[in-house]
Amino acid sequence: MSPADLTAALKRRAAELDFGLVGACPAAPPAGAARLDEWLARGYAGQMHYIADRRDAYDHPRHILDGVCSLLLLGMHYRTAEPATAAAGQGRVARYAWGAADYHDLVRERLHTLADYLRELVPAASTRGVVDTAPLLEREFAQLAGLGWVGKNTLLINRDAGSYFFLAALLTDQPLEYDAPHATDHCGSCTACLDACPTDAFAQPYVLDASRCISYLTIELQDHVPAELRAGIGDWLFGCDVCQDVCPWNRKAPTSPLPQYQPQPALNPVDLVELFELDDASFRNRFRRTPLWRAHRRGLLRSAAIVLGNQRDQAAVPPLRRGLQDNEPLVRAAAAWALGQIGGDDARAALQQQLDGEDDNAVRAEIAAALTALDAHR
């Protein structure tokens, strides 16, 4: 097949597989590799050490597929319903994680189907599909493939589709007919995303300090959330959509017809009290095949405690008392902070009782700080 015929056939099949955006580009060193070095040097990756550990692999797609010639960049829409308002005792989840399935599994399955189709057309073809787990600067290549521009919030934005879509790529050693790169930035003078960020995570336009981003703090961070950032988390339990929700280009973003992305009532929003009743086995049964699994039980309960602390509702004291006795120090520390934010005699008694028997220094420090805060407001 000619590159043009092969590309047209792949694009048609991709559309049948629910990819709403498709573009092709050559395999080449990404222009943003140097910016990645600067970003890492500034510490903006936080604890995401895996990026630096495989830094050299980002220099060229050949580190993912030997002999790669072309990339087919794909976007799958995930916008569905509008988020429900989180009441006291509830936490918000980012739109992409509302569904019954992990998007990695769903997108990867369709990538495999598309790769099989490519091999039907060209039996000798070598190919590999990736969805945000390989060392590939997807947004750089998506812009090169004409799918959009990288906005001030560092997300890929398409004029017709906004930014509520997953990016994936199909790499192949076959030549394709390449799309024109997207050369125009349509953010203009708008700073809505920068102004709305609750934790001031944007060091400057187009530069995200991930170590301050709510998505990082509630998903990637394996440690205690810095005290100065906890209030900014607000009612976000897992992920954050603020910089996308305020983006004008998302006002008319298309919705996904896929049932797997439709919001489960238990995730839009989440009952935080129930989370403190889950042991490891029940947490696994509930979240194993969903994006929330990535945070692990200790991370999700840490975030749940912070949300409850931000809401300052006395009804949250009983579940936080359970959290204060959890096996995980990370959970106990967050519960201690939250009880200090809520206050009251029951919270104070729980903190003092736990302090007497607590053997983890970090947790003891959080309890002591919480008691000091309560004393100051007497």
Catalytic positions, written as ranges: 132
- Looking at the DSSP bridge assignments, the partners of residue 168 are 74
Alpha carbon of 339 to those of 41, 105, 222, 303, 333: distances in Å? 37, 38, 21, 14, 10
Local structure of 303: helix, strand or coil? helix
Q: Are 120 and 140 in contact (CB under 8 A)?
A: no
The b-or-e profile of 24-38 (16+ CB within 10 A means b, else e) is bbebeebebeeebee
Question: Among 143, 145, 146, 141, which Cα is nearest to 130's?
Answer: 141
Give 158's DSSP letter.
Answer: B
Q: Are 321 and 350 in contact (CB under 8 A)?
A: yes
Spatial neighbors of 374 by CB under 8 A, at least 6 apart, are 340, 343, 347, 348, 351
